[in-house]
Amino acid sequence: MTYIGEALELRDPARIRNRVFDLIGLLGALIALSTAATAYFLFQVPNWCGAVNRNGTLCRDNSSGLLIGCYRRQHKWQKIKPTFVSQYWRRLGGELKSQPLEGVKTVTALLGLFGGLITLCVALVKLAG
């Protein structure tokens, strides 16, 4: 760690090239971490399925991720369909309010995604300016 500190002290901070490389490195790290957090919450976080069964109850089987249902094919389709079909967005919001734990997980995934996008925009503005 001391080698990195010594190397940073030797660099001329007035050179624009050094600042650009610092921003690119920081931007790459933040985008990678935001992408990893978003992917984890959307596809890997342990969760209940929550798809509607034939008798109207919610499925309590385990699933992985917010977008993927349990082992049943129809449940997988029920979970991923609201993402792509616009008429289901309102119902998705209602389901997230009725199941607070899933709501927290979804909001966390979206915050990771938006954080990465905001970081990208800020870095691009700094590079342009």
Q: 10 Å Cβ neighbour count for 55?
A: 5
31 band by pLDDT with thresholds 50, 70 and 90: confident
Residue 9 within any structural domain of the chain: no
Structure tokens at 86: 């616009």
Q: Is the residue at 2 inside a domain?
A: no
Q: How many domains does the chain have?
A: 1
pTM over 0.85: no
Query: Please, which residues have CB within 8 angstroms of residue 67's CB and are 6 or more apart in sequence?
Result: 42, 43, 79, 80, 83
Q: What is the pLDDT of residue 119?
A: 85
Please report whether residue 5 resides in a domain. Answer: no
How many whole angstroms separate alpha carbon 121 and alpha carbon 112? Answer: 14
3 belongs to a structural domain: no
Looking at the predicted structure, is the pLDDT value of residue 112 above 60? yes
- Tell me: pLDDT of 114 over 60: yes
Asked if residue 76 is part of any domain, the answer here is yes
* pLDDT tier, 111 (very low <50, low <70, confident <90, very high otherwise): confident
Check pLDDT > 70 for residue 16.
no
User: 121: domain range?
Assistant: 14-128
**pLDDT tens digits, 56-105:** 898 888 888 777 778 888 888 887 776 676 666 666 666 666 667 777 77
Place 8 in a pLDDT band, splitting at 50, 70 and 90: low
pLDDT recorded at residue 55: 92
